[in-house]
Each structure stands twice: as C-alpha cells, then as structure tokens.
C-alpha cells in the first residue's frame, strides 16, 4: 500500500503523467481538466511518447523475435500504426480488431490472430487477408482451418497454444497457464504434440 493514496505510482502511470502545482493531473503536459473541456468526457488519453518508448523497449529487448502488442489492451488505427512503427507486431482476437488494423494500413504479415473462440468467418478473413500467424487453440479449430485453407488454396502459418502447467498464483478467473483450463493444448497430457502433428 502506498503511504499516500494520491501518489502517482510510476508502475501504474505513463511516464508523462504528473500533477501540476494545483494538484491537477496532467498527461504529457496537458491538464486533464483542459482535455475534458476541449473534447468532453468520457475520453481516452494516450501518451504517444510513452507508448512509443515502451513499444520500442520491448522490440529491442527481444530483438530477433516477433513481439506482439495485444490489441485487446487498447486499439485504434493510430495506436496500431505507432506500435508497428516501433517494431512490434499486433495480436488481434476478433474480426473487428483485424479490420481496425487493416484500416490502419498495417502489413498483415505482422499480425497474429489469437483467441479460443474464432469463428469460421474470422478464420476465412485471416486467411484471405494474409494474416501472418494464426494461433491454434483446439482440434476443432485445426479441422476448420484446414478445410478453409484447402478451399482457398492458402497455406497458413500457425502457432499452437500450449498449456505449460505453470501456476502463476493469480485469481482463478484470469489464470491461463495451468492444466485445467480452456485455452490451448497440454504439454504434459500430450495434446500439444498431437496438435503439432495435426497442423
């Protein structure tokens, strides 16, 4: 617990967030009161310099690897362009997110379609638009994707989502790596290997 509940903890705020001499929150030097007066509320305020710096840091820390920005954290065409310009790919989970990224002019080879509940329409969209990777979550999805790939004469690049059995000791509703959960294929149970062979 912070000693001052009104303190701006650096781990929770962008590096450009401060309080002015009157205690008013500012983002990149702009007062949130002035922002609200200018554009109304509610409003999303994104510090471009901070977002770009963090994206660049991830890209540099994992140089030589594909690092994806999770669209579900916040996505609009401008943010999509920023993260791509800073060297990241984009992880989308829906056809709607894919459409936003496409509208932003992102090279779709730098996009991964994720999610454990992809519809046939979303899979078709990803295949025909040229999405770089499709993350596979179930044997059913392997079958549906295979049929669509054959129909459209496309060979997709896929990744198999594996369940590692690692317990993160977090709230049970958001834990995703343990064995007894809905995402991916179990390494320990052997289904991950079966999925790799099936792909």
List, in order, residues 6 or more apart from 156 with CB less than 8 Å away: 126, 127, 131, 133, 134, 145, 149
* CA distance readout (Å), 143 to 30, 90, 146, 199: 52, 25, 5, 9
pTM: 0.83
pLDDT of 9 strictly over 90: no
What average pLDDT does the segment 168-187 reach? Answer: 61
Give the pLDDT confidence of 67-125 residue by residue, as tens digits: 999 999 999 999 999 999 999 999 999 999 999 999 999 999 999 999 888 999 999 99
Domains and CATH numbers, the chain: 1-45 (no CATH), 48-160 (3.20.20.10)
pLDDT over 90 percentage in the chain? 70
Q: Which two tokens stand for residue 183?
A: 């995402």
Confidence tier at 176 by pLDDT (50, 70, 90):
low
Above 80 in pLDDT, residue 171?
no
Higher per-residue confidence, 95 vs 1 = 95
């Amino acid at each position: 617990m912070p000693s001052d509940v009104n303190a701006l903890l650096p781990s929770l705020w962008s590096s450009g967030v401060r309080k002015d001499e009157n205690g008013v929150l500012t983002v990149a030097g702009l007062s949130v009161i002035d922002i609200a007066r200018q554009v109304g509320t509610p409003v999303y305020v994104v510090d471009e310099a901070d977002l770009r710096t963090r994206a660049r840091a991830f890209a540099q820390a994992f140089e030589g690897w594909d690092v994806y920005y999770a669209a579900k954290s916040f996505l609009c065409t401008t943010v999509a362009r920023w993260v791509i310009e800073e060297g990241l790919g984009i992880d989308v989970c829906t056809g709607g997110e894919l459409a936003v990224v496409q509208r932003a002019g992102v090279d779709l080879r730098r996009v991964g379609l994720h999610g454990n509940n992809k519809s046939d329409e979303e899979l078709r969209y990803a295949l025909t638009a040229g999405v770089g990777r499709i993350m596979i979550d179930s044997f059913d999805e392997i079958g549906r994707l295979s049929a669509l790939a054959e129909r459209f004469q496309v060979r997709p690049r896929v990744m198999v989502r594996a369940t590692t059995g690692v317990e993160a000791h977090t709230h049970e509703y958001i834990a995703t790596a343990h064995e007894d959960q809905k995402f991916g294929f179990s390494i320990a149970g052997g289904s991950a290997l079966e999925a790799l062979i099936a792909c």
